[in-house]
């Protein structure tokens, strides 16, 4: 007979496998309907998200997920000031007491070392899942837990000595990476929505094959995750744009680098790149969501130099 602990582990593994499949189908951002429907385990439905940010399906004794609500237009993102110096997400308890049932269960999840799913809301009804995540610290007097969402960093994981200048720089960089990662989820969602979930060059509509390309390169300190600094491009055209094979003039005309135009290869080169030379970028309907012409001009200059 399966014990409660064994059942807990089996359901969590099944949940992670379900998410892997759904991401393959829908892309990295999943709709609320998929998450609330969840999956079936031994005849029992297991929703992965619900009305409470700390979510426990009926089949389990402890929470399986925590969620951050999508940002509201005109207001700061709810996680902006909630990444600790140790690169952990500070996730607030429900309400104003550590004794609330959801909070008690969350703390027990930490005590038992159970993995969770973190759902980061990027737009209304749209969530980016991170799994497995672990609660590293519990701070009941401050009414929050500290959650490791798996940012790629050495800080705190055998990296530099955090007491040295090098270690402090690494901590700062790790924190910035985590915030950037969270912001990029929302950036992609907003850009793809503005471009009607299609590539601005070839009109491909498979969301799982679309990226939000930055006009000002990521490395540029002025590059911000705002729609006017983005274009919805399929993965082929995004890669070509990033590598200066494809450029977009300030008047939205697409250009292909001269040596690529002269190259003779198969149908992908001919139809995927060369035939787009001289075509116009398909723009968002709203003027304020269209590419910033100053950004395009600066990026086009980089392309022109490469040509």
State how far the Cα of 241 lies from the Cα of 248, in Å rounded to an integer: 8
- Clarify whether residues 207 and 273 are in a common domain: yes
Answer whether residue 293 is part of any domain.
yes
Average pLDDT over residues 54-67: 96
Average pLDDT over residues 97-110: 94
Q: What is the pLDDT of residue 242?
A: 92
- Clarify whether residues 238 and 289 are in a common domain: yes
- Clarify whether residues 35 and 173 are in a common domain: yes
Answer whether residue 225 is part of any domain.
yes
What pLDDT, in 10s, does the model give residues 161-211? Answer: 434 444 444 444 455 556 556 667 788 889 999 999 999 999 999 998 999
Answer whether residue 204 is part of any domain.
yes
- Clarify whether residues 9 and 149 are in a common domain: yes
State how far the Cα of 68 lies from the Cα of 119, in Å rounded to an integer: 6
Rounded percentage of the chain residues whose pLDDT exceeds 90: 62
Answer whether residue 233 is part of any domain.
yes
State how far the Cα of 115 lies from the Cα of 210, in Å rounded to an integer: 30
pLDDT band at 296 (very low <50, low <70, confident <90, very high): very high
State how far the Cα of 105 lies from the Cα of 111, in Å rounded to an integer: 10
Residues paired with 130 in a beta bridge = 118
Which domain, by its residues, includes 124?
4-179
Q: What is the pLDDT of residue 187?
A: 87
What pLDDT, in 10s, does the model give residues 205-246? Answer: 999 899 999 998 776 667 778 899 999 999 999 999 999 999
Answer whether residue 279 is part of any domain.
yes
pTM of the predicted model as reported, rounded to 2 decimal places = 0.62
- Clarify whether residues 143 and 83 are in a common domain: yes
Cα separation values, 142 from 77, 87, 95, 145, 241, Å: 20, 18, 12, 9, 46
- Clarify whether residues 209 and 152 are in a common domain: no
Pairing mode, strands 65-68 and 116-123: parallel
**What count of Cα atoms within 13 Å lies in the side-chain half-sphere of residue 206?**
7
The single-letter DSSP state of residue 70 is P
Number of domains in the chain: 2
Last residue of a domain, one of 179, 209, 240: 179
Answer whether residue 187 is part of any domain.
no
- Clarify whether residues 205 and 113 are in a common domain: no
Answer whether residue 281 is part of any domain.
yes
Distance of CA 60 to the CA centre of its chain: 27
Average pLDDT over residues 36-55: 95
Rounded percentage of the chain residues whose pLDDT exceeds 70: 84
- Clarify whether residues 169 and 237 are in a common domain: no
The CATH number of whichever domain residue 14 belongs to comes to 2.30.280
Under a CB-based contact definition with an 8 Å cutoff, are residues 116 and 132 in contact? yes
Average pLDDT over residues 111-135: 91
State how far the Cα of 41 lies from the Cα of 13, in Å rounded to an integer: 11
Answer whether residue 170 is part of any domain.
yes
- Clarify whether residues 236 and 282 are in a common domain: yes
């Amino acid at each position: 007979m399966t014990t409660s602990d064994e059942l807990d582990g089996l359901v969590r593994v099944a949940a992670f496998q379900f998410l892997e499949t759904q991401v393959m189908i829908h892309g990295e951002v999943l709709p609320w309907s998929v998450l609330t429907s969840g999956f079936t385990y031994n005849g029992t439905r297991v929703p992965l998200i619900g009305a409470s940010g700390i979510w426990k399906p009926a089949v389990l004794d402890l929470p399986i997920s925590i969620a951050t609500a999508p940002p509201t237009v005109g207001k700061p993102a709810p996680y902006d000031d909630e990444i600790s110096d140790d690169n952990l997400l500070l996730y607030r308890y429900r309400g104003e007491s550590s004794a609330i049932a959801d909070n008690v269960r969350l703390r027990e999840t930490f005590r038992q070392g159970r993995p969770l799913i973190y759902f980061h809301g990027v737009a209304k009804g749209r969530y980016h899942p991170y799994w497995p995540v672990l609660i590293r610290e519990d701070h009941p007097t401050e009414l929050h837990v500290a959650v490791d969402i798996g940012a790629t960093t050495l800080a705190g994981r055998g990296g530099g000595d955090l007491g040295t200048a090098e270690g402090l720089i690494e901590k700062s960089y790790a924190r910035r990476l985590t915030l950037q990662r969270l912001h990029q989820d929302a950036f992609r969602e907003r850009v793809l929505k503005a471009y009607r979930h299609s590539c601005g060059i070839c009109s491909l509509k498979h969301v799982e094959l679309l990226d939000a390309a930055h006009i000002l390169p990521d490395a540029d300190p002025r590059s911000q995750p705002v729609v006017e600094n983005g274009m919805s491009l399929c993965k082929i055209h995004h890669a070509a744009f990033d590598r200066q094979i494809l450029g977009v003039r300030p008047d939205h005309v697409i250009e292909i680098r001269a040596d690529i135009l002269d190259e003779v290869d198969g149908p992908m080169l001919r139809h995927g790149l060369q035939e787009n030379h001289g075509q116009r970028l398909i723009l968002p309907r709203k003027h304020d969501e269209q590419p910033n012409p100053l950004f395009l001009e600066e990026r086009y200059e980089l392309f022109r130099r490469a040509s």
